Chain A
C-alpha cells in the first residue's frame, strides 16, 4: 500500500532564504508525482508535475526533483517570499490506479 510522507510538517523561515521540502513514498512504481499549494480556505493549485520518466521540473523559483528508485522527491524554493506562505502538498499517482495518494503537507511560513 502506497504511503506518502512529507517532512517537515511545518517550516518558518525569513524572507529570502532558499528552502527544501521533502516528500517520500513507499512504492516506487508510480506514474507521476505532483506538488500542490494550498492557501487557507482555498482549493489546491498545481505547482509541478513530474512524470515517472523525468528527474526534475522547474517553474520560476520552484524546482522539483524525483528519485523514483529511492522513493523521494524534493521541492526547492529559491529566494522565498512572504507570498510563498502556504501548505505544500505532495501526491503520487500509482502505476495501476488512477487516484492520487497524498502526504499531509508542509506548512510554510515566510516571514518578512
Chain B
C-alpha cells in the first residue's frame, strides 16, 4: 500500500514569508508525528497527533510554528515569518497506535531552505 507522502519535496522561500508543509499519513494510521532534521544535528520532535486527542505540541520551537490535522488524516505544518534557522528537512511519520503497533513510518521529507 501507499506509504507516507509529503509535499512539496523541496521548498525555497524568502526570510519572513509563511510556508505550509503537507503530510499524508498511511491510510488508517491514527498517530501522526512531525520532526525536523537540521544540518549536522539529530532529528528533533516537533508535534504529535493521536486520534481526536489534543496534540502534543511540546517540541514546537516557537509560536511561529503550528500544525493541524484535518479529519484525522492529512496534516499541515505552518511556519510563519520564516527565519534562516528554520532551514531543515521536515519529516512526517505515522503509526498505527490503536492496534498497539507503535512503529513509525516516515515520509521522504520536505527540504526547506530559507534565503
Q: Does B25 contact A (CB under 8 A)?
A: no
Among the listed B41, B42, B56, which residue makes an inter-chain contact with A99, where contact means beta carbons less than 8 Å apart? B56
Contact present for B105 and A46 (CB under 8 Å): yes
What is the bound-complex CA distance between A105 and B93, given in angstroms?
Answer: 18
Among the listed A31, A32, A91, which residue makes an inter-chain contact with B43, where contact means beta carbons less than 8 Å apart? A91
> Which of A91, A97, A98, A104 is most buried by chain B, counting CB atoms within 10 A of its CB?
A98
Contact present for B102 and A44 (CB under 8 Å): no
Looking at the complex, which of B13-21, B72-80, B106-114 is the stretch in contact with chain A?
B106-114
**What DSSP secondary structure best describes chain A's contact surface?**
strand
Using CB atoms, name the residue of chain A closest to B103: A49
What is the bound-complex CA distance between A102 and B37, given in angstroms?
Answer: 10
Contact present for A105 and B103 (CB under 8 Å): no
Q: Does B65 contact A (CB under 8 A)?
A: no
Q: Which of B77-115 contact A (CB under 8 A)?
A: 91, 93, 102-109
Interface residues on B, range: 20 to 34
Among the listed A45, A98, A102, A105, which residue makes an inter-chain contact with B50, where contact means beta carbons less than 8 Å apart? A98
Contact present for B43 and A89 (CB under 8 Å): yes
Contact present for B103 and A104 (CB under 8 Å): no
Q: Does A61 contact B (CB under 8 A)?
A: no
Q: Mark A78-102, 1 if CB is under 8 A from B, else 0.
A: 0000000000010101000111111
| A98 in contact with B108 given A32-B102, A46-B103 (CB within 8 Å) | no
B contact residues vs A (CB 8 Å cutoff): 31, 33, 35, 41-45, 48, 50, 56, 58-59, 91, 93, 102-109
A contact residues vs B (CB 8 Å cutoff): 4, 31-32, 34, 36, 42-46, 49, 89, 91, 93, 97-105
